[in-house]
Each structure stands twice: as structure tokens, then as C-alpha cells.
Amino acid sequence: EIVLTQSPATLSLSPGERATLSCGASQYISKYLAWYQQKPGQAPRLLIYDASNRATGIPARFSGSGSGTDFTLTISSLEPEDFAIYYCQQRSKWPLTFGQGTRLEIK
Amino acid sequence: QLQLQESGPGLVKPSETLSLSCIVSGDSITSGDYYWGWIRQPPGKGLEWIGHFYYGGSTDYNPSLKGRVTISVDTSKNQFSLNLNSVTAADSAIYYCVRHWQSVDPWGQGTLVTVSS
């Protein structure tokens, strides 16, 4: 099973700041990584697929990068609604797996 | 607009079988364009794939569930179902039905299942 390790576990920032979230894979997964945002009481929402492609309707302040084993989600300037939990997920090999999540909280 | 809606009991006794259904509207599960499956999330914890199927192709289950899980399809109702047997408290979670290919999108709203006597 491919293990995804997200860091940091918690990130405390202020609105307007830049957020950088990391996801590392235990094996090579090419570009096959997605990012999701989850708010309390809601299902996760797709942000980025195949490492760098924004999903439909996702603001341009969200961007993804990386390939192989190291990936990054960047939020260029945080809006109040961006404070949530973020998960990465790989589709390179079954079973598909998720990272443990990064909690982005207001400082 | 594609929608997935889970349904089933919110409370299951230990050692019994958890059974959920997912009704799909706005797309056909027989189209062969996507995988359809289940993901779960224990309250306050992370996400775990349970299994998925590709109509006309294979069905895959997470080995972590050790043969306890079955996904079945009812094409006449455009729905698919999850059966998880011999449940314990560790199976208490929000269960989501999903569609995926390059990514999981969309997700159902999720249904909370608690395993307790």
C-alpha cells in the first residue's frame, strides 16, 4: 500500500498569507495525486487532480505542483473560507489511499 | 447534475452486517466511463477507500477489510450497494458513495453508521 504523509499536521496562518501544504508518497506515483478540502460536516471537495489541474470552479489562488513522490498544494492568499482540512490522495496503485490530512487554522 | 445519495440504517449491532445503498442520478453507472465506489471516515479521523467497481470490468476491495466487504450493482435502479459483515465498533464511520476516475468527484453527502449494541 502506498502511504501518503502530509505535513505539517496543523498550519496556523492569517487571512491574506500564503499557505504551503506538502504530501509525500512512499513510492513513485508519477502525477497521479489529487487534493481535497473538507469543512466540518461536509464531504470533501475536489480541488486539484493529477497534481496540478484545478477542478471546475476552484479559484485560481489554489495551485498544485510536484511529481514522483513529492507534491505541494499552495494557496496564494488565504481567504476566510479556506480554513479547513486538506487531504491528498493517490490513484497510482490500488488500494487508493489518502494522506492523514493537514488542518489549516486561523492564527 | 450528477448526484449520489446514500441510504441505510444508522445503527448496526456488532457482528451483524452493515448494508448501504447509493442511488445515482444524472449519470449511468453502466456507462463504463467511471469507477463507482465507497469511502469511509470515522468521526474526527481520516479517509479510507473501501472498494469500487467499473461496470463491465473488475471490482476491487481494500485488502484491509479482509474479505468482509461486497459491492453489488442494481442496474435497473441505477444504484449500487455496500455490504460489510462482522462489523465492530471500528467500522463506525461516515460512509460516502463516490464516482471517480482521475479524482473523486462528486461525493455523496455521506451517511453516519454507528456500530453499537
Report pLDDT digits (tens) over A81-92: 999 999 999 999
The backbone torsions φ and ψ at residue A95, rounded to the nearest 5 degrees and listed phi first, read -75, 140
Cis upstream peptide for A44 (omega within 30°): no
Element (DSSP H or E) covering residue A33: strand A33-38
Chain B interface, mutation test: which of A29, A32, A96, most B Cβ atoms within 10 Å? A96
The pLDDT of B97-116, averaged and rounded, is 95
pLDDT at site B33: 85
Give the gap in angstroms from C-alpha B65 to the nearest C-alpha of chain A.
Answer: 11
Report pLDDT digits (tens) over A34-83: 999 999 999 999 999 999 999 999 999 999 999 999 999 999 999 999 99
Lookup: cell for B73: 450493482
- The DSSP bridge pattern shows strands A85-90 and A53-54 to be unpaired
Q: Do B47 and A44 touch (CB under 8 A)?
A: yes
Cα distance between residue B62 and residue A57, in whole Å: 31
Task: Name the interface residues of B facing A (CB cutoff 8 Å).
Answer: 46-49, 60, 62-64, 96, 100, 102-110
**B90 secondary structure, DSSP code:** G
Chain B interface, mutation test: which of A23, A92, A98, A102, most B Cβ atoms within 10 Å? A98
pLDDT at site B58: 86
Cβ count near A71 (within 10 Å): 27
